[in-house]
Every structure is written in structure tokens, then in C-alpha cells.
Amino acid sequence: MGAIAVIGLHWGDEGKGRIVDLLVKDCNGVVRYNGGPNAGHTLVVNGETFKLHLIPSGILHRDKINVIGNGVIIDPKVLLEEIDELKGRGFFNGKLYISDRAPILFPYHKIIDELEESFRGSFSLGTTKRGVGPGYTDEINRSGLRMIDLFSDSFEEKLKRVWDLKVKISPCLDGKVNIEDVIEDYKGYIEYLKSYTTDTISLLHDLLAQGKRVLLEGAQGFLLDIDFGTYPYVSSSSSSIGGIFSGSGINPKQLEKIFGVVKAYMTRVGAGPFPTELKDDTGNYLRERGREYGTTTGRPRRCGWLDCVATKYSCIINGVDGIYITKLDVLGGLSEVKVCIGYEYEGERLYSFPSSLEILENCKPIYERFPGWNIEGNELPPNAKSYLKFIEDFLDTKILGVSIGPEREAFIDLC
């Protein structure tokens, strides 16, 4: 027994919640290790829909432990609202453990996020405006506060010191926040959050030492990783395999399996290169059929064909043991389905994922074409099987299962 990881291999929204739901039954707990309130996990339990941003999805299971690791940036207000909503609907299992090392978001982070996005003008990143980038920036710059600071007697003094520095460096923040009000609000969170906040590193190591299994639930997707993603059009945390170690404190030897989640087509919210994007009727077809609208912001997602070059890059860096393909049914009804197997740029053919944004923005995808299909019942038509076989061979990675509808049963196990 050990830890198993579920990592989205695209730009987020791969349907990780679905796969977590499938795997969680054999685990004792679920751990979030990266991202913050920018993440949105939609879960359906007994016909009820839940949208979680910070709390791990194990909360909806009576017996599962839920850990918000030290790599997650916490907006206490969002967290309280989430806890209250779950309590109100009778779905809060109480087994929530928040890392005392987790960084905290303050209202000025959101303001900075909004200001920066507007100052960037046509180069805006399309962030979720939850303050996540500025919050992690403060952490890296050693001007952040962590959960442990919230409970310290010197919380007020520390926050005022940070705020003074912020206003000196960014005078446009002056007058935008009343720091005394912020202090009062955050002091109000102390009582509520203290009982859930603990040393989650010891907790996780104890669980693993007892032979328990935990599931590490990635937020965002690998192509939004701060180091390996389509920088600067990325999020500000490590959504790659490395984020698990820096964001939860478990060590690589404790990781038993790494599973990747890949959508049968590709989506992206916000700005940034997307070589296989479809700005036509087929793109609209995928958006409507796949209900591709952001969980956190409601923004329509950009849709396109599966990019196997980008996906292979993700598989290699994350060292996945196998992948799950989601939403295969959404491709149903199309006369032809395409998969990108390379890019053409200035007359040259490229078969690896470029680091240059200029190339990614201006390259032409090279496609493999497949005749379409319609899925009826839980049987895969031969054309869908050929599509999957091609992906499996190209990625050199086993496809472990395929989802073919939103219901729990609409899943084909290929293990």
C-alpha cells in the first residue's frame, strides 16, 4: 500500500473528478497538493452536484480522510463557504485536515490579480482572478503568511508588516484595502479553521506507515504547470508529478502508481497557445456536447482535437503508469475525428512539444484522421477502438479505462 496519484495531462478539466471517484473506494484518504480556489472539481453524488474548489473530493465519502497539503494556497473565505455549504447539504464528513504550512490568500491578492490582468491588456493571461498568482508570488518572495501564522499571537503584526511593504512597492494598492478590516475578518476565521489545521506531513506519513492508501488529487493540468506548461500562460503552482512531493510532503518512494487523465479531445480556458483549437462548428459541437464551461468562472472552454504530441510530453515527464480517457462519447456523431501527431512550422516538421510560444502559436498541426462513430450502450464500436489503439501506441502508455457518459456506470474498464 502507498500513495496513488491522479494527474490531468492537459490544461485542466480533463475529468479527473470522475477518475478519482472510481479509485477512491480503495483508498483511505484524498490529498490536494497544488493550486487553490482557482481549481474547480464538479462531482455528482446520488444525483446531487457539488462544485469543490479547495476541499478534496473524499469529503463526500463518509469514511475518507481529506488533506489540504502545504502546496495548496488557501482563501479562508472560500474554504469556510465550502465547508458551510457541505454542512448545510449534509455532506461534510468532518475529516478535514489543513496543512499548517499552507500559504494564505488575502483580499489584496485578488486585487493585484485583477489589476495585473487589466494592465496586461491584450496580453492578459485569462486568469481566474482568484489571486492565486500574486499569492504564490508572495510565498516565493517570502512575503507570504501561512496557516500557522494565522494562529500566532503575532499575526496582526506580521500582516501589517507585509502590507506596508506591499503598499510601498505597489502604491496603486494604497486605499484599495482597509488592512484593519482584513485583520478583523481573518481573526474571525481563526476559531473556525483552527480545529482542522494540523501538521499534515506527520499525518500522511503515519497513515502510510500504517499501510493505508491515499490518493493524491491533482488540480489544474500538467500543461498549466509553472515549469513545464505553456509559460506564461500557465497557473502558478506545480501541477506536475513534482508538485506532489513539494505540496504534500510524501516522498517519491511512497508513490505506488501514477495515473494520467486525458480527455478524448482537448480544452483550455483562458489565453495561451492551443495548436489544435477548433474555432468552427466542430469546436462548438464539442463545447455543447461536452458541456465545456468553466466550473470556477463559467467561461466557455476553447475546444480542439486531441494533441498527442503535447499528451506524450505530459506522459513522459509525469512517468505515468497508465492513462484514463474521458468523454469519448462526446466525439460521437462526427463523420471524422482527428489526432495531432506533429506540427509543421516554417516548412519544418516537429515531433516534440516546443518550448517556444511563437512556434506553438503559429504551427500547423499534422493530423491522423479516423472515421467517426456512435456509441450505444457500453460497447465500443470498432472505429472508436481503432482511435484508442492509435493513441495507446502513439503514447506508448496503457489505456486503463474510458468514460463514455456522465453517469458512473458509463465507464469501460480496460485494465
Q: What residues make contact with ligand IMP under the rule CB under 6 A?
A: 11-13, 38-40, 125-128, 130, 132-133, 219-220, 224, 235-236, 269-270
Q: Which residues contact 48 (CB under 8 A, 6 or more apart)?
A: 89, 91
Please state, in angstroms and rounded to a whole number, the distance separating the CA atoms of residues 66 and 114: 31
The nearest distance, CB 185 to ligand IMP, in angstroms, is 22
Which residue of the chain is nearest ligand IMP when measured via CB? 270
Contact 302, 126 (CB under 8 A): no
State the nearest-atom distance from the C-beta of 377 to ligand IMP, in Å.
31
The full DSSP string for 129-161 is: SSSHHHHHHHHHTT---BHHHHTSTTHHHHHHH
For residue 72, give the nearest of 101, 97, 35 by alpha carbon: 35
Judge whether 23 and 280 are in contact, CB under 8 Å. Answer: no
Distance CA 70, CA 31 (A): 10
Q: How far is the CB of 11 from ligand IMP (least distance, A)?
A: 6
Is there a contact between 3 and 214 (Cβ–Cβ < 8 Å)?
yes
Nearer to ligand IMP, 100 or 217 (CB): 217
In DSSP terms, 340 is beta-bridged to: 307, 367
Q: Considering 10, 21, 41, 225, which one is annotated as catalytic?
A: 41
Q: How far apart are CA 11 and CA 400, in angstroms?
A: 21
Task: Please answer whether residues 327 and 16 qualify as being in contact, where contact means their C-beta atoms are separated by less than 8 angstroms.
Answer: no
Q: Which is nearer to ligand IMP, 291 or 389 (CB)?
A: 291
Residue 196 CB, shortest distance to ligand IMP, in Å, is 23
41 is catalytic: yes
Closer CB to ligand IMP, residue 304 or residue 332?
304
What's the distance, CA 143 to chain centroid?
A: 25
* Residue 332: partners with Cβ closer than 8 Å, 6 or more residues away: 372, 373, 374, 375
Query: Least Å distance between CB 400 and ligand IMP?
Result: 22
Residue 336 β-bridge partners: 371
- The nearest distance, CB 48 to ligand IMP, in angstroms, is 21
Q: Is 63 a catalytic residue?
A: no
- Active-site pick, 13, 21, 75, 307: 13
- 121: Cβ–Cβ under 8 A, 6 or more apart, which residues? none
Closer residue to ligand IMP (CB): 136 or 387: 136
Rounded to an integer, what distance in angstroms lies between the CA atom of residue 105 and that of residue 103? 7
Say which DSSP state 18 is in.
Answer: H
In terms of CB distance, is 197 or 326 closer to ligand IMP? 326
Residues whose CB is less than 8 angstroms from the CB of residue 382 and which lie 6 or more positions away in sequence, other chains included: 373
Q: What is the SS3 assignment for 306?
A: strand
By beta-carbon proximity to ligand IMP, the closer residue of 143 and 296 is 296
CA-wise closest residue to 305 among 368, 350, 357: 368
CB nearer to ligand IMP: pick between 213 and 287: 287
Dihedrals φ, ψ of 351, to 5°?
-120, 10
For ligand IMP, give the closer residue by CB, 117 or 321: 117
Q: Give me the least distance between CB of 132 and ligand IMP, in Å please.
A: 5
Report in angstroms how near the CB of residue 150 gets to ligand IMP at its nearest: 22
Point out the residues that are catalytic.
13, 41
